[in-house]
Structure 1
Amino acid sequence: MSGDNRRFGFWNPAPTRHSALEDAQGIATGSMVAALGLTLIGSAGLVASGVAGVAFILHYLTGYSFGLYYIVLNMPFYALSLSRLGKAFTIKTFLAICLTSLITEIQPRYLKIETLDPVWAALLAGVLLGFGLLALYRHRASLGGLGILAVYLQDRFGIRAGLVQLGFDLVVLAAAFAVAAPYIVLCSVIGAIVLNLFLTINHRADRYIAM
């Protein structure tokens, strides 16, 4: 039994490095799951957390593409990522952002949502974004913006990534009152809490040591 555990990676005390193929599937899967969460947010008229929340606010105000705003708003954070977290992390994060933005833009063509309760949308989106980000974090990538900063602060100072994002998210969600009704903002807050609690509980370097 112990031999099977070691072979499949359970209770393995030594860190193992992901292969390029494993990174590719992790980034693709994480981006797809996160894009589904963002689609639910957009369909319910909610506001996401972090840079995605700013992108949604601009999208609602101007009508221009969410995906385009999301890519552009993340650009300033690549310098921090490159200097602090390395070339590999930056490249994988850039690919994850582009893929997530692309899927979010084209997904409404293939997924039609006729009825969606804002509270349920917030709960589902929070969980889906949590799973998507967790997959990306475990392959040394993120969805950019505050995610880059959160991962850096966790690696450098040991501050939980979920707690870092929660603080910034409260600021972004406060700005959401400019484009959404209080009830919608409240639902958005619920989604942000679910997302960040999910990451705080599950994203721990002492529990997952593959690289």
Structure 2
Amino acid sequence: MSTAAIDTPPPSAAVRHSPAENIVGILVGTLVASLGLFLINSAGAVTGGTAGLVLLLAQVLHWPFAVIFAVVNLPFAVLAWTRKGWSFVASSVISVSLFSTFSLLHPKFIEAAHVNPLYAVLVGNLAAGIGILIVFRHHSSLGGFNVVALLCQDRLGWRAGYVLLGLDATVVALSALTAPLHTVLLSAAGVAILNVVLVMNHRPGRYPAAL
């Protein structure tokens, strides 16, 4: 019998991440995702996801962003608690907090006086997709639409990337009511790139160590 046959565990015996690996993974994932969002915002592009939806609602309701963000995310938090358990909710709260903190720090250390919009949107969404992928694989999320996407993948077998693509596309389409057409089209291309990263790399049964 070969050494490889002895050392390689069967597919059903996937090794779980250690607590230290989860901490580092969530730190790196939220940092990379927030850097991607910083690039997207630097280009003045429309943001998808729950944040994009909250920004649209803020323009209509004229409420503070933080208040609308909390109200919108509350039902998603309850859904996650009932369907995925307290550990997932706690981890997601930490991820969202880190993501928000990093988002506040980037402008203090990066001066983006001029950035090519096409480059910023495409690379920014690519970075955001990679960051979200890392967070997903450490049994966490950035809340909001992420929760719906992961539940659809776990319960229905739908790939999280496709679910997020549909939700993000809806937000970008609604942004056409207030944003210029060229901004909406560029944002749509960016949203597609972000979710292609998730479709190709996060699918049912591909990464059992994250569960």
TM-score, normalised with respect to structure 1 = 0.88
Q: Structure 1 stretches of 5 or more lacking a match?
A: none
CA spacing shift, 1:127–1:69, aligned 2, 3 Å: farther
Q: Indicate the structure (1 or 2) with the bigger Cα radius of gyration.
A: 2
Q: Structure 1: how far apart are the matches of 2:62 and 2:111?
A: 19
Q: What corresponds to 2:160 in structure 1?
A: 161
Q: CA deviation at 1:70?
A: 4.5
* 3-state SS of paired residue (2:184): helix
Q: What corresponds to 1:28 in structure 2?
A: 27
Q: Structure 2: how far apart are the matches of 1:87 and 1:112?
A: 39
Q: Deviations over 1:83-129 (max 9, x none)?
A: 00111111111111111012112210111112222221121122111
Q: What corresponds to 1:133 in structure 2?
A: 132
Q: Structure 2: how far apart are the matches of 1:165 and 1:134?
A: 12
Task: Give the alignment's Cα RMSD to 1 decimal.
Answer: 2.6
Letter paired with 2:19: A
**1:196 matched to 2:158:** no
Q: Structure 2 stretches of 5 or more lacking a match?
A: none
Q: What corresponds to 1:15 in structure 2?
A: 14
Q: Structure 1: how far apart are the matches of 2:129 and 2:176?
A: 24
Q: Deviations over 1:54-92 (max 9, x none)?
A: 234457789998677555532321000000011111111
> 142-151 vs 111-120, which deviates more?
111-120
Q: What corresponds to 1:2 in structure 2?
A: 4
The total of aligned residue pairs comes to 208
Q: CA deviation at 1:169?
A: 1.3
Letter paired with 2:110: L
Letter paired with 2:120: A
Q: Deviations over 1:15-54 (max 9, x none)?
A: 1121211111111111000000111111111112110212
* 3-state SS of paired residue (2:205): coil
Q: Structure 1: how far apart are the matches of 2:24 and 2:184?
A: 34
CA spacing shift, 1:65–1:20, aligned 2, 3 Å: farther
Q: Structure 2: how far apart are the matches of 1:166 and 1:119?
A: 20
Is the 8 Å Cα contact of residues 71 and 98 (structure 1) preserved in structure 2? no
TM-score, normalised with respect to structure 2 = 0.88
CA spacing shift, 1:66–1:34, aligned 2, 3 Å: farther
Is the 8 Å Cα contact of residues 46 and 187 (structure 1) preserved in structure 2? yes
Identical aligned residues as a percent: 36
